[in-house]
Every structure is written in structure tokens, then in C-alpha cells.
């Protein structure tokens, strides 16, 4: 009994030191999570009211132009995307390039031959650009949407047009929440056997 008590006493400084480190790390991770959590909290609130009980805060201003094509024919949708990048000063790569082949459609009981079409989309959190071209036309229709501050936040929340860096940054919030939950349980238990057992049963 005496030897067990002395061993427990020796382990006390290690446990206290580990708890101090855990408490300090918990606080710093919580500070980081508070900043990102505020961003995702505000944008998540707006997204939650996107369809039902709408809050008219997020707004996308729309504009539309018809851009005349060059005299030399454009070979394919990828070439159209490159041409649009040079004409509209778009530095980023297209997020999506779609091609739809020529097909027969029925309209008002009559069959019509619909020409092939190309679609090119460029997105980032600030704005979106969508271009549509029907083969045979001498122009391409370009639609642009510019986000206000609240729409910008919601697009960041959804990762619209965001790169790998932003996705990994957002992942740190998810990882931080997991760490805060586990470290909070450990701090509550103070590493005592009975409390650790209760925490384990609760998680299970």
C-alpha cells in the first residue's frame, strides 16, 4: 500500500505538467477556432436562411454581354476558354468546361435540330463568369455575377472557386473542433481514472 502511494506521488508532477500543456494548447487552438468559427458561423446562418425565412443580405449583381467571336474559327471548347481568358483578363483556369453534341429536340409537337453547344465557367468567391456558345453563332453569351460582402462570405463557406489552400485552411477548423472536444474532456477528467471512464462511456 505504501509503495503504491509513493508511486502515485511520483506520477503527480508528470500529470500536472501534461495538464498544463494541454490547457495551454486547448486555449490557443480555441483562439484559432474562434476566428474561423465566426466566419463560418455568420455565413452558415445566412445559408440556413437561404430558402426558408430568407434574409436579404447576400446579393449577386448580374450583368450580361454578347462578345463577338474572332474571324478565325475557334476549334473547340478548350480553345474558347483560352480565348475568353485573354479577352476578359481572367487569370485563373476554368472551373468547368462542358460540351453538348448536336441533337434532335421536340418543341410544340415538331422536331428541330439543335446545334452543339459549349459552356465555360470561371468561379471564385468574389464573382462568377459563365460563357455559352452555340455552334454557328458569331458571338458568345457571357454572364457575370458579382458578390456583395455577405454573398462573398457564403461562397467562401461553400468553397466556391476556392483553391486547395482554402480547403486545407477550412479543414483546420474541423480538426480544431475535434481536438477541442477531446482535450476538453481530458481537462474535465483531470486524468483521474473514474472520470476518464465516464468520459469514455459518454463518447461510446
Tens digits of residue pLDDT in 87-119: 999 988 999 999 999 988 888 888 888 899 999
Q: Is the pLDDT of residue 3 over 80?
A: no
Angle of helix 193-203 versus helix 164-189 axis, rounded to 10: 140
User: In this predicted structure, what is the pLDDT of residue 140?
Assistant: 95
Domain residue extents for the chain? 13-53+156-203, 61-146
Give 132-182 pLDDT, tens digit per residue: 999 989 999 999 999 988 888 888 777 777 777 777 877 877 787 787 777
Give 44-92 pLDDT, tens digit per residue: 777 777 667 677 777 889 999 999 999 888 999 999 999 999 999 998 8
User: Largest Cα–Cα distance in the chain?
Assistant: 98
User: In this predicted structure, what is the pLDDT of residue 176?
Assistant: 79
Smallest Cα–Cα separation from 167: which of 154, 180, 158, 178? 158
User: In this predicted structure, what is the pLDDT of residue 201?
Assistant: 61
> Higher pLDDT residue, 106 or 16?
106
DSSP 70: P
Report the predicted TM-score, pTM, of the whole model to 2 decimal places: 0.62
Amino acid at each position: 500500500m505504501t509503495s503504491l502511494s509513493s508511486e502515485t506521488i511520483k506520477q503527480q508532477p508528470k500529470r500536472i505538467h501534461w495538464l498544463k500543456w494541454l490547457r495551454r494548447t486547448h486555449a490557443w487552438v480555441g483562439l484559432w477556432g474562434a476566428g474561423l468559427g465566426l466566419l463560418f458561423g455568420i455565413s452558415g446562418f445566412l445559408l440556413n436562411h437561404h430558402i426558408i425565412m430568407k434574409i436579404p443580405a447576400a446579393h449577386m449583381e448580374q450583368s450580361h454581354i454578347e462578345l463577338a467571336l474572332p474571324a478565325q474559327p475557334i476549334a473547340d471548347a478548350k480553345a474558347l476558354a483560352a480565348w475568353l481568358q485573354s479577352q476578359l483578363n481572367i487569370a485563373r483556369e476554368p472551373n468547368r468546361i462542358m460540351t453538348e453534341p448536336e441533337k434532335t429536340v421536340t418543341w410544340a409537337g415538331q422536331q428541330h435540330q439543335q446545334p452543339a453547344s459549349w459552356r465555360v465557367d470561371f468561379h471564385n468567391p468574389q464573382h462568377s463568369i459563365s460563357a455559352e456558345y452555340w455552334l454557328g453563332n458569331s458571338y458568345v453569351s457571357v454572364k457575370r455575377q458579382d458578390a456583395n460582402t455577405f454573398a462573398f462570405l457564403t461562397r467562401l463557406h461553400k468553397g466556391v472557386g476556392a483553391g486547395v489552400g482554402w480547403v486545407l485552411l477550412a479543414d483546420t477548423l474541423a480538426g480544431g473542433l475535434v481536438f477541442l472536444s477531446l482535450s476538453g474532456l481530458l481537462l474535465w477528467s483531470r486524468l483521474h481514472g473514474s472520470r476518464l471512464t465516464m468520459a469514455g462511456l459518454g463518447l461510446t
